[in-house]
Structure 1
């Protein structure tokens, strides 16, 4: 299975642009760590052509949130949810970013 974690960078940090750079770097590192370290065990599951794609961003209170954006089994999504919860990340609850899920 191919694991991809994509940071969705915030470009409208207020009031300080340098804060935006710091926060976006923090998100980039968190996404890289989630993919390379915390979800690495998923690479041994399933077929090579299967994948799981996770988006990460900030909520309005600058907490990291996550969302699986492709169709995966419930077991895989539950595993991602468990790992992210242990890391203190929040589930991204908006349906707008999840445009691929359920489309067949």
Structure 2
């Protein structure tokens, strides 16, 4: 199974917002670590030629949330949920991708 973790970030952080830049960098590191370390074992889960695509982002309280965005077997979803729960990430429950657009 091919695992891909995609960080969903604000496309253009507001100028002079060093915290926003730091949070985006942190989200990139979280995505890489989740894909390359914590979910590495998923590469051997049957069916081998399937894909597992996960989005990670922040919720309104800046907790890391995750969502599987494609159809995967129930065991793959359960294993992903277990790993994310151990890391303290919460399941993404809203139907929208990004709620942080402000004008």
Q: TM-score, normalised by structure 2?
A: 0.86
Please say if residues 68 and 77 of structure 1, whose CA atoms lie closer than 8 Å, have aligned partners that are also in contact.
Answer: yes
Q: Secondary structure of 2:54's match?
A: strand
Offset at residue 11 of structure 1 (A): 4.7
What are the superposed Cα offsets for residues 11-65 of structure 1, whole Å, 9 maximum, x if unpaired? 5767x61001100010000000000000000001124431100000000001100
1:70 aligns with 2:66: no
Alignment partner, residue 18 of structure 2: 18
Q: How does 1:37-76 map to 2 (within 5 A)?
A: 37-76=37-76
Change (3 A) 1:4 1:82: same
Q: Secondary structure of 2:33's match?
A: helix
Please say if residues 6 and 53 of structure 1, whose CA atoms lie closer than 8 Å, have aligned partners that are also in contact.
Answer: yes
Where does structure 1 differ by over 6 angstroms across 4 or more consecutive aligned residues? none
Q: What root-mean-square deviation, in Å, do the aligned CA atoms of Structure 1 and Structure 2 show?
A: 1.8
Alignment partner, residue 5 of structure 2: 5
* Unaligned 5+ runs, structure 2: 98-103
Q: Please, which moves more after superposition, 5-14 or 56-65?
A: 5-14
Aligned length: 97
Distance 1:82 1:44 in 2: 17
